[in-house]
Amino acid sequence: MGIPNYIKFSTTYCSWSNMKTRCFNSNKDSYKHYGGRGITVCNHWLKFDNFLEDMGERPDGMTLDRIDNDGNYKPSNCQWATQKQQCRNKRGNRIMFLEEQSHCLREWADILKVSYGLLENRIRRGWTDYQTLTIPKGGRRCEK
């Protein structure tokens, strides 16, 4: 029998189908970032019903996100996330540490209410994480 059209065109089904395509279809451009890196889909999720049972319907405005970008698509490593959350959960993000906190550069810019460019320029000029995150805008670092 096959999957009914009302399900095939649902956002949840599309997320599931796209996940499988990224991991298994070497003819697609996105394959190199997923299947080509060894990212796969757990056997349980090869059936849409199992994926739906574990993840639930995709909430409006959300996309399928792997918590660990080097990990596989499986229940313990996936969540529905906003586009903003997804952008902050990328392989290329620079993570900075201050005391007990770690965030990507964009999050620190939001937290500190400064521009991303300011923090990025400081890093390019060789500032430490501590200097980058604690010296006020317009301030100078002390050379030792």
Q: What is the pLDDT along the chain (144 residues), one digit of tens a residue?
A: 566 555 666 899 999 999 999 999 999 998 999 999 999 999 999 999 999 999 999 999 999 999 988 899 999 999 999 877 776 677 667 788 888 888 888 888 888 999 989 999 999 999 999 999 998 887 776 665
Q: What is the pLDDT of residue 9?
A: 67
What is the distance between the alpha carbons of residues 64 and 55, in angstroms, rounded to a whole number? 9
Q: pTM of the full predicted structure?
A: 0.65
* Nearest CA-CA partner of 88 in 73, 114, 74, 107: 107
Which residues neighbour 27 within 8 Å (Cβ) at sequence distance 6 or greater? none
What is the distance between the alpha carbons of residues 122 and 135, in angstroms, rounded to a whole number? 10
Q: What is the pLDDT of residue 71?
A: 94
